[in-house]
Structure 1
Amino acid sequence: MGFLKTCVLRRNACTAVCFWRRQVVQKPSVRKISTTSPRSTVMPAWVIDKYGSNEVLRFTQNMMIPMIHYPNEVIIKVHAASINPIDVNMRSGYGATALNMKRDPLHIKIKGEEFPLTLGRDVSGVVMECGLDVRYFKPGDEVSHKPKSLTHAQAASLPYVALTAWSAINKIGGLHDKNCAGKRVLILGASGGVGTFAIQVMKAWDAHVTAVCSQDASELVRKLGADDVIDYKSGNMEEQLKYLKPFDFILDSVGGSTETWALNFLKKWSGATYVTLVTPFLLNMDRLGIADGMLQTGVTVGSKTLKHFWQGVHYRWAFFMASGPYLDDIAELVDAGKIQPVIEKTFPFSKVPEAFLKVERGHARGKTVVSVV
């Protein structure tokens, strides 16, 4: 997590969902790619030099500031960032194979080449510099044209969880504002970052929402609009759910054993869909390599999809999808007062390791944010 970030931004959106680029690139061609000259200065950042527990996080004041390597990139001065469970998992090495390929699509990095690695996916800040092909942003913009009603901390809490939930509900689940009224929706893991956003967007589309969380989070999810709340700690989940009407859509951000019973509570032969965010995709690639990992993933999801299709329901996996247009839609809901950021705790930049520990302990009540500026 650093003070500045190089990002690829497309269209106007709520905030930047960005990835550090530590790529090996050829010397730039004669054509300029940036609106300003490169600056040989340093910045403060939290980095890791190896994968491991929280002790691997290291603070440095001598991280070279990022440079624009491609004409569609911008440099952002980060005002706030949020931490997601995947950031904690990445600190421990989860998804390293696939994410290294993402950082360096020209060739797969040799193990260890990615260090020092700066973690972090969500930011809100101000554009400092633009590549020559950037048309939707200019220096001084609060990226990505965040809703004016939000602070940088609030804006930084939304993109990753919002786009993950939007991908699951809209892109994979096929639900939107025109077909959701009256649909019965079950959200497993309702008090976390994805869950608190999902409740709000489903209620904005007039669905009936049943939220599963612990009893101490019930007041929060009811305030966000949940119609029914089930405490997963108060008894057997299956026993509690069997007294409710079947569901049209289930969003599962918990995984584990939930997959073995949750699909039984969908309406059969009516197009009802179960979408899980907990998949073995990145683990397969870490364990088996890119080719074999993708093959194993395809076999797994294909067999499960077919099995549940013959039982009258749809089984799907969903992932985070970066999308400027989706963020535009989300920003409209924010400006309309139908979506509000849910922030459990804000840490100063000096306390980044404590913020990681907070997320690692689980039982989230919304998002954990780091104030950088």
Structure 2
Amino acid sequence: MSTELEPAANHPTPEARTTGTTMMRAVVQRRYGPPSVLEPSTVARPVPRRGEALVRVGAASVHPGGYFVMTGEPYVARLAFGLRRPRQGIPGMDLAGEVVAVSEGVTSVTPGEQVFGWSTRGALAEYACVPAGHLVPRPPDLSVAEAAAVPTSGMTALQAVRDVAHVRPGQRVLVIGASGGVGSFAVQIATALDAQVTGVCSARNVDLVRSLGAEHVVDYASTDVTLGEERYDVILDNVEAQPLATVRRILTPTGTLIPNSGHGGRWLGPIGRILTARMLSVVSRQQLKPFLSLGKRKDLLTLAGLLATGQIRPVIDRTYPLDDAAEALRHVGAGHTRGKVVITL
């Protein structure tokens, strides 16, 4: 089966409706562009391939990466997602819901189990096929909407703080964009590792970031953190409001800067910023480490454990019904979300 939607799924015909094909509601994208390209539609329910589970989606989250995939910019990203149009006709990755069926060879999840994880075949739909290795049990005290908010942002924050920066107890950690999806998880994970965390956010989010565990919170509109005297062992920059050279001024001589952002131009996007960071690391004792977050089941299990013990919690900005997915992506694209934006079904 193609990784794209089959023609009958993108354009359901009367024949499909009368031959026993099971249908479902979904958000479909047939071309790149602004949120208006997202269309609520009725499509054929997918059939799990070997190693996959069919999940009845209770909630799915959207994030900035999904916004850029939707627009098809930077153009270099189309090499991975489809040159002329999206290869995957249903957008969305992160989801939570109930396993309703499993294919041959699947033993890690069972029908009836409440799970969360990430899909490679589209999550903004009533049903999604998900590799079984991308799913873990949902902690019982976590709502389906909260669980859907975790996978991509949570794994990115965990890998940045624990694996890339190797944060240790007592280190001074600065999180720029501390109230966003990745930032809100990063503050909590660094706090759980006994670091001294400072968060940078807008004035309306100061109390939120403090409640997540930050010892110090800076309102970026009234204070330029790069002009202060404090030096940080680790800086996670989720915003790119300042050039790399400016942010490096408040990094310790052997500190680590993770530029987890970078819009760049229409063609190459953040590649220029990434290359600059790599070159600066060669000639400096400071470490500039842009990285690509990868989905890993063991990391999602780690997050599930932190969620179950209350060491981290998802922050949800807004929820939208499935038919309003375009408005949800429009809100994400504006760049001022407070935590995560979730689609509920």
TM over 0.5, yes or no?
yes
The total of aligned residue pairs comes to: 312
Q: Does 1:273 align with 2:261?
A: no
**Separation in structure 1 between the aligned mates of residue 83 and residue 340 of structure 2, nearest angstrom:** 34
Q: What's 1:149 paired with?
A: 141
Q: What's 1:357 paired with?
A: 330
What do residues 204-258 of structure 1 show as CA deviations (whole Å, max 9, x unaligned)? Answer: 111000101111110100111111111111143322xx232x1111101112534
Structure having the larger proportion of residues in strand:
2
Asked if the contact 2:72–2:78 (Cα under 8 Å) also holds between the matched residues in 1, the reply is no
Letter in 2 for 1:276: P
Q: In 2 relative to 1, CA 235–199 (structure 1 residues): closer, same or farther, beyond 3 Å?
A: closer
Asked if the contact 1:276–1:317 (Cα under 8 Å) also holds between the matched residues in 2, the reply is yes
Secondary structure, counterpart of 1:55 in structure 2 = helix
**Separation in structure 1 between the aligned mates of residue 71 and residue 215 of structure 2, nearest angstrom:** 37
What do residues 291-327 of structure 1 show as CA deviations (whole Å, max 9, x unaligned)? Answer: xx9xx95x97466334234332001112221011011
**Separation in structure 1 between the aligned mates of residue 28 and residue 62 of structure 2, nearest angstrom:** 14
Q: In 2 relative to 1, CA 130–99 (structure 1 residues): closer, same or farther, beyond 3 Å?
A: farther
Which residue, out of 328, 333, 339, partners 2:312? 339
Q: What's 1:259 paired with?
A: 244
Q: In 2 relative to 1, CA 110–309 (structure 1 residues): closer, same or farther, beyond 3 Å?
A: closer
Q: In 2 relative to 1, CA 57–301 (structure 1 residues): closer, same or farther, beyond 3 Å?
A: closer
Q: Does 1:73 align with 2:52?
A: yes
Letter in 1 for 2:143: T
Which residue, out of 219, 223, 229, partners 1:243? 229
**Separation in structure 2 between the aligned mates of residue 90 and residue 357 of structure 1, nearest angstrom:** 13
What do residues 179-226 of structure 1 show as CA deviations (whole Å, max 9, x unaligned)? Answer: x21010000111101111111111111100010111111010011111
| 1:141 positional shift | 1.3
Q: What's 1:42 paired with?
A: 23
Q: In 2 relative to 1, CA 113–243 (structure 1 residues): closer, same or farther, beyond 3 Å?
A: closer
**Separation in structure 1 between the aligned mates of residue 262 and residue 3 of structure 2, nearest angstrom:** 26
Q: Does 1:165 align with 2:157?
A: yes
Letter in 2 for 1:331: A
- Between the two proteins, what is the percent identity of the paired residues? 30
Letter in 2 for 1:287: W
Q: What's 1:187 paired with?
A: 175
Q: Which 5+ residue runs of structure 2 have no aligned equivalent? A: 7-19, 116-135
What do residues 94-124 of structure 1 show as CA deviations (whole Å, max 9, x unaligned)? Answer: 367656646xxxxxx5623737x21111100
Q: In 2 relative to 1, CA 287–91 (structure 1 residues): closer, same or farther, beyond 3 Å?
A: same
**Separation in structure 1 between the aligned mates of residue 53 and residue 335 of structure 2, nearest angstrom:** 33
**Separation in structure 1 between the aligned mates of residue 86 and residue 288 of structure 2, nearest angstrom:** 38
Which residue, out of 22, 43, 67, partners 2:4? 22
Secondary structure, counterpart of 1:217 in structure 2 = helix
Letter in 2 for 1:192: G
| 1:131 positional shift | 2.1
Which residue, out of 20, 37, 45, partners 1:56? 37
Q: Does 1:318 align with 2:304?
A: no
| 1:145 positional shift | 0.4
**Separation in structure 2 between the aligned mates of residue 353 and residue 22 of structure 1, nearest angstrom:** 21
Q: What's 1:139 paired with?
A: 111
Letter in 2 for 1:189: G
Q: Does 1:125 align with 2:97?
A: yes
What root-mean-square deviation, in Å, do the aligned CA atoms of Structure 1 and Structure 2 show?
Answer: 2.6
Letter in 2 for 1:50: R
Asked if the contact 2:69–2:77 (Cα under 8 Å) also holds between the matched residues in 1, the reply is no
Letter in 1 for 2:99: V
Asked if the contact 1:146–1:155 (Cα under 8 Å) also holds between the matched residues in 2, the reply is yes
